[in-house]
Structure 1
Amino acid sequence: MSYQDGSQGTAVENATGAPVVELVDVQRHFGATPALDGVSLSVQKGEILGIIGRSGAGKSTLIRCLNGLERPDSGSVIIEGQDIAKLPESALHPLRRRIGMIFQHFNLLSAKTVIENVALPLKIEGRGRAERLTRAAELLDLVGLSDKRDAYPAQLSGGQKQRVGIARALAARPSLLLSDEATSALDPETTRSILDLLKRINRELGLTVVLITHEMEVVRAIGDRVAVIDKGKIVEEGPVWSVFSNPAADITRRLLAGILPELPAHLAATLPPGTRLVQVDFAGNLDDGRLVLDRSSESRAFRILHGGVDYVQERPVGRFFIAVNDTADLDPFLATVRASGARAEVLVR
């Protein structure tokens, strides 16, 4: 479905340079089971890409291929122009320093203070103590934890631990930040604060971010694009607002359940005999929603049962469920809605 919004696109959408990340037909099997089955993706500089899927879909294997911890059976994993799938282990070490990693369970060293945890990647690099501590202090200020520099992980909340993990991931000035279910162990309020921090870091540092998650709300909050993985294959990808407004794959629709409006069963059960039910989805143009509302108010033959409008990536995304009585001519209404670029599906004739 094509939505018309007149937008010129974001800087990321208009990017023309070489991608920071490019996967080309990546295959990875464990025995006879394909964990990745021909995955191809690219991520532009400064972009936030969300990779979403259910447990066992291939997300963990994909992120391990991106940081070089897993070697694909075939295909290319290109990071900043280098195919890391073909590099010897010795050549991977300097490249891994260009990739920051945020973990679900923080992975902090309990016997080290906050500032020592943040400085650890620089110690591994062989940087001097003064340089390490100066950089770590700057990053603790960035993530809002300057006052916790001498605390130990056991003295921190979950959100604070994740902020330390983010600071540590930034220590070596990476060009790519990988987030592996970084908010799934946090409560909703803390999750929002961490996502706001990641978005701010993305904007202020121009950092490219790949989010691995099973939560559509995470992608919705900060993603530029989303790729949906299922059974080792990318089944759908595109700008977040577009995929949310018109999911093409069944798995995407299931992952979106609870985010997009659904018609309550008790409303559907009360429809008079002969009533037609139409679902209208629109995105990118609020006039499409007004068209639905205006057309539905012209006559008692059309009645909005349920729905609403939300904003994803600053674009209106809406869904309405409209009851049409058996005396109304449905076809002109459908034609008008579809001509506007919205999607109209007759659920009950």
Structure 2
Amino acid sequence: MTITASAIARNVLADADRRETSGTDRRAEGTAEAPVVRLDGVFRHFGETAALDGISLSVRKGEVLGIIGRSGAGKSTLIRCLNGLERPDRGSIKIEGRDITGLSEAELQPVRRRIGMIFQHFNLLSAKTVAENVMLPLKIEGMPRAERRKRAADLLDLVGLSAKADAYPSALSGGQKQRVGIARALAARPALLLSDEATSALDPETTASILALLKDINTRLGLTILLITHEMEVVRGVADRVAVIDAGKIVEDGPVWSVFSDPKAATTKSLLGAIRPSLPPAIGTALAASGETVLSVDLVGPEAATLLPALSIELGAPIRLVHGGIDHIQGQSVGRFFITLAPGTSLPQAIAFLTRHGAHVETAGHVADHV
């Protein structure tokens, strides 16, 4: 009998719904309507350095949240606080409504079983087979061997590695090792999946396949995922929402399309620099030498595809697109254009028209030939 991935996913979810949460608090604030993760005023210092400086954040059920920041921004400390490996100096961290900050190691164990972890360097045991690596959390939990084997088989099918069940990690590619890591993270039916730089050791093609897998798992199982990363493409590829952390503070937070189309914080603008269109220096220098005015125009929505032709009609003069284009993020058309206006064209009229249609406009270059 052939079992499809969809059927496996439904069985995994049904099992999760039937299974008790091993002591996790199920009071009203821990229901599906409450955030799966909630941090309120979390501080963590190492000597005089504030690794976390008053972090407040929530992640709702089924959401994929990307947390991005430079090295040393506080990402690793944050994820260690979420799984109880670090204790905050003050503030509260709630997982499914239960405050974990004051729990003992014994009390943390059932909470940790509700949290799956995916690691940058896979953390597989080389002396165990792929199936045995996936079964390890279940063995620790005390699940009977027959049930462990069935669960591992289902999960390996879900991540596309059924044929590798008896192989050892040394025989796997990096992408395959990470798929095993994902299957292992799902073994104990977590409510929350933490991904700590899970794709930074992988090539771009493999990264894309892992992100597609995570998104598919999120869609099929309704699993809440929190991604810690410094890679903007990872956030763009899978996250619903992004929070930017800098020097232990959340400096920006919002839907991915909104933050990517109109970043407010300097840190966000810097991190987005590699994937967000910017005017190439050579083009900027040539335009400055010619005396042409350059406008940068940012716009989100259906009008991104029609605004420049409409502007040309409004001004009665041609518009020259010198760089940029339209991207599609979370189903939104996100336009970023660099344009020049013909000499004698009304710059205030152009800016007023663009602004009236919801665009964010900045000017650069020569403006004397415009009225």
TM-score where L is the length of structure 1: 0.93
Which has the higher mean CA deviation after the structures are superposed, 86-95 or 44-53?
86-95
- Superposed CA offset, 1:133-165 (max 9, x none): 110111000000000000001111100000000
Contact 2:311 2:353 in 1 (8 A): no
Aligned twin of 2:118: 102
Aligned length: 333
Contact 2:304 2:333 in 1 (8 A): no
Indicate whether 1:38 and 2:54 are aligned.
yes
Percent same amino acid among aligned pairs? 65
Matched AA of 1:171: A
Residue from 349, 356, 360 that aligns with 1:339: 356
Aligned twin of 1:220: 236
Segments of structure 2 that go 5 or more residues without pairing to the other structure are 1-31
**Distance in 2 separating the partners of 1:156 and 1:288:** 44
Moved over 4 A (4+): 297-301
- Superposed CA offset, 1:15-62 (max 9, x none): x92100001010000000000000111000000000000110000000
**Distance in 2 separating the partners of 1:288 and 1:318:** 5
What does 1:60-99 correspond to in 2, within 5 Å? Answer: 60-99=76-115
**Distance in 2 separating the partners of 1:73 and 1:81:** 20
Q: CA shift at 1:340, angstroms?
A: 1.1
Q: CA shift at 1:326, angstroms?
A: 4.0
**Distance in 2 separating the partners of 1:302 and 1:189:** 38
Contact 1:304 1:321 in 2 (8 A): yes
Aligned twin of 1:303: 320
Q: CA shift at 1:260, angstroms?
A: 1.4
Q: CA shift at 1:77, angstroms?
A: 0.6
**Distance in 1 separating the partners of 2:266 and 2:77:** 22
Q: CA shift at 1:74, angstroms?
A: 0.5
In angstroms, what is the RMSD of aligned CA positions?
1.3
Q: CA shift at 1:288, angstroms?
A: 3.9
Q: Secondary structure at the match of 2:106?
A: helix
Matched AA of 1:105: H
Contact 2:317 2:345 in 1 (8 A): no
Q: CA shift at 1:301, angstroms?
A: 5.5
**Distance in 2 separating the partners of 1:124 and 1:17:** 31
Segments of structure 1 that go 5 or more residues without pairing to the other structure are 1-15
Residue from 259, 278, 290 that aligns with 1:262: 278
Contact 1:301 1:327 in 2 (8 A): no
What does 1:244-323 correspond to in 2, within 5 Å? Answer: 244-271=260-287, 272-283=289-300, 285-296=301-312, 299-300=316-317, 302-323=319-340
Contact 2:68 2:244 in 1 (8 A): yes
- Superposed CA offset, 1:299-344 (max 9, x none): 5453221110010001000111111244111111111111111111
Q: Secondary structure at the match of 1:166?
A: helix
**Distance in 1 separating the partners of 2:171 and 2:307:** 55
- Superposed CA offset, 1:229-269 (max 9, x none): 01110000100000000000111111111211111122112
Which has the higher mean CA deviation after the structures are superposed, 330-339 or 101-110?
330-339
Matched AA of 1:243: V
Indicate whether 1:151 and 2:157 are aligned.
no
Matched AA of 2:211: L
- Superposed CA offset, 1:164-195 (max 9, x none): 00000000000000000000000011000000
Query: Alpha carbons of 1:334 and 1:289: their partners in 2 closer, same or farther (altered >3 Å)?
Result: farther
Q: CA shift at 1:290, angstroms?
A: 1.0
Aligned twin of 2:195: 179
Contact 2:308 2:319 in 1 (8 A): no
Higher relative contact order (CA 8 A, sep 6+): 1
Matched AA of 2:322: L
